[in-house]
Amino acid sequence: MRDEFVALLVGEQGYHEGRDSNGNWNNHQKYSPAVPTLEWSQDQAWCATFTAWGATQTPGMGDRWPITASCAEAVQWWQDHGRWSEYPVLGGPFYLGPGGGDHVGVVVAYDGNTVWTIEGNTNAGGSPQGDGVYARQRPRRGPGSPYGYGVPDYPEGTISADPALGGVPAARVGTPQTPAPPASEPEPDPTPARYQAVVNSLPYGYGAQGDQVTEVGRALVARGFGQYYAVGPGPTWTDADTRAYAAFQRSLDYLGGDADGVPGPHSLRELLGYLPGGDAPPAFPGAQYFGPGANNAYVTALGEQLVRRGFGRFYAVGPGPSWGEADRRATQAFQRAQGWRGADADGWPGPATWRLLFS
């Protein structure tokens, strides 16, 4: 039952809610009408509805899961049934926010530091109010970690890190008996991969040189992988670039040799938003397209690139074509990530911000 339930939800990855007449995401989705008693929740936040939909679609599971559109009510349901834990539970829900009321997803895998999940109504930045179904990674401890976990009554038994529930230190769905860690493989250290790859005639990997190397390093720093750099990044690819890129690949759920720290076309496009030497970054359209009252495709492109570069936490809804405070704050955070301060980090896009954001 657990594997069937999780596989159903994972199969929805890539699904997106609808947009309104202005192009904004609008919470209109297929799950609310498909869940008896939750039809009314259409056009509202739907992360809990997504998990309830999966439970009602999995034979024998409807009574083992709270059928509610409210995360807070779901937390109460698990607690009232005595099925609540502070530890990850394989195939169980995790809840974010004060009292667990902000967001819910389902645990696909976990190890000592990380929880791998499938979530509805989130986005690439992990927002609790997003646009679709995404596979995500969440820290087990510290900022952004879950408030707690529900413990479904699976007929095949419970797999959890909770010592009171077996204390399995790491597990993933689909692994029989005592599962192994899903992605707790050692970083490429102390001997990172020392070879190169060529993407659109541009070299990447140890010893590669050029502006494209600096571009990747800066993008990795902006995405939160700057801890690998003691100096730089710069135009010569070093072990620091390899370690940082391998960490980025693992954040995309790459495993083994796929997380070797050497760029390929897919991961490079995920990092930069375009493919150097192939796609050209768009030209800056002009400051008049951004600011209060602006409503155009350039605002959408800016917001989507900010989310792609790791600044999606500022968006509760969207991004979309209407300029808002979330766009300004996300832009400001990106500018500050470049080391800019004062008027250079005011949240208003200019040519330099646009060039760095898209390159």
Tokens for 118, please give them.
């499938």
Identify the CATH assignment for 2-172 out of 3.40.50.970, 3.40.1390.10, 1.10.540.10, 3.90.1720.10.
3.90.1720.10
Q: Given a cut of 60, is residue 270 above it in pLDDT?
A: yes
Which of 230-234, 263-267, 295-299 is the least confident region? Answer: 230-234
Tell me, yes or no, if the two domains 196-272 and 287-357 fold the same way: yes
Number of neighbours of residue 283 by Cβ within 10 angstroms: 10
- What per-residue confidence (pLDDT) applies to 267? 87
Number of neighbours of residue 246 by Cβ within 10 angstroms: 24
Contact 180, 155 (CB under 8 A): no
Residues 212-243: pLDDT tens digits? 898 898 888 878 888 888 777 888 888 889 98
- What per-residue confidence (pLDDT) applies to 347? 92
Q: Given a cut of 70, is residue 279 above it in pLDDT?
A: no
| Number of helices and strands in the chain (H, E) | 10, 9
109: which strand partners? 116, 172
> What is the CATH class of 287-357?
mainly alpha
Q: Given a cut of 90, is residue 91 above it in pLDDT?
A: yes
Tokens for 345, please give them.
């980090």
Q: Given a cut of 80, is residue 344 above it in pLDDT?
A: yes
CB proximity list for 208: less than 8 A, separation 6 or greater: 196, 236, 237
Q: What are the φ and ψ backbone dihedral angles of 283, each rounded to 5 degrees?
A: -75, 150
**Average pLDDT, integer, range 311-319:** 83
Distance CA 325, CA 343 (A): 17
Mean pLDDT of all residues belonging to the chain: 85
Q: Given a cut of 60, is residue 191 above it in pLDDT?
A: no
Nearest to 86 by CA among 9, 165, 154: 165
User: Confidence class of residue 190 from pLDDT cuts 50, 70 and 90?
Assistant: very low
203: which strand partners? 198
> What is the CATH class of 196-272?
mainly alpha
- What per-residue confidence (pLDDT) applies to 176? 46
Residue 341, classed as helix, strand or coil, is: coil
Single-letter amino acid, residue 30:
K
- What per-residue confidence (pLDDT) applies to 319? 86
User: What single string gives the DSSP state of each residue in 136-199?
Assistant: EEEESSSTT--SEEE----TT---BS-GGGT--SSEETT--SSPPPSS-PPPS-SS----EEEE
- What per-residue confidence (pLDDT) applies to 74? 95
Distance CA 172, CA 281 (A): 39
Domain ranges of the chain: 2-172, 196-272, 287-357
